[in-house]
């Protein structure tokens, strides 16, 4: 059973900072892009004085380069849905408003 909640982009980022872990599975819909896969790394470093929140995702695909990096802060206004499937616990579908 997947729990569905509605959040603002900032609420989603706060949720992910506290709950997203390496090796969790995620399905990210932003703009016209859908990325599904395992979280390989989470980078919250600052770049040129600007805070970042980048996730490295190993896509569930057979493309030439199945690993992508998504800056969630940069694309937060374009996020549509984020399905978080933690290794331990119930999956949660976050719909953005």
Would you say residue 91 has pLDDT above 70?
A: yes
Contact 82, 35 (CB under 8 A): no
Q: Determine the pLDDT at residue 50.
A: 87
Range of the domain at 11: 3-96
For Cα atoms 94, 5, 17, give the angle at the middle one, nearest 5 degrees: 50
With CA atoms as reference, report the closest residue to 35 among 54, 7, 19.
Answer: 54
The total domain count for the chain is: 1
Would you say residue 80 has pLDDT above 70?
A: yes
Would you say residue 93 has pLDDT above 70?
A: yes
CATH number at residue 37: 2.30.30
Q: What number is the average pLDDT over the span 1-11?
A: 96
Alpha-carbon gap, residue 41 to 55, rounded angstroms: 6
Q: Determine the pLDDT at residue 20.
A: 98
With CA atoms as reference, report the closest residue to 55 among 88, 11, 85, 24.
Answer: 24
What is the per-residue pLDDT across 31-78, written as a single tens digit (0 to 9) for each? 899 999 999 999 999 988 888 999 999 998 766 678 999 999 999 999
What is the per-residue pLDDT across 8-37, written as a single tens digit (0 to 9) for each? 999 999 999 999 999 999 999 998 999 999
Q: Determine the pLDDT at residue 64.
A: 67
């Amino acid at each position: 059973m997947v729990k569905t909640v509605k959040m603002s982009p900032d609420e989603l980022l706060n949720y992910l900072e506290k709950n997203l872990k390496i090796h969790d599975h995620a399905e990210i819909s932003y703009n016209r892009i859908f990325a599904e896969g395992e979280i390989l790394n989470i980078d919250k470093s600052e770049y040129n004085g600007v805070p970042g929140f980048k996730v490295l995702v190993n896509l569930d695909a057979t493309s030439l380069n199945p690993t992508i990096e998504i800056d969630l802060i940069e694309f937060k206004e374009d996020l549509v849905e984020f399905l978080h499937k933690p290794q331990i616990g119930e999956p949660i579908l976050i719909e953005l408003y």
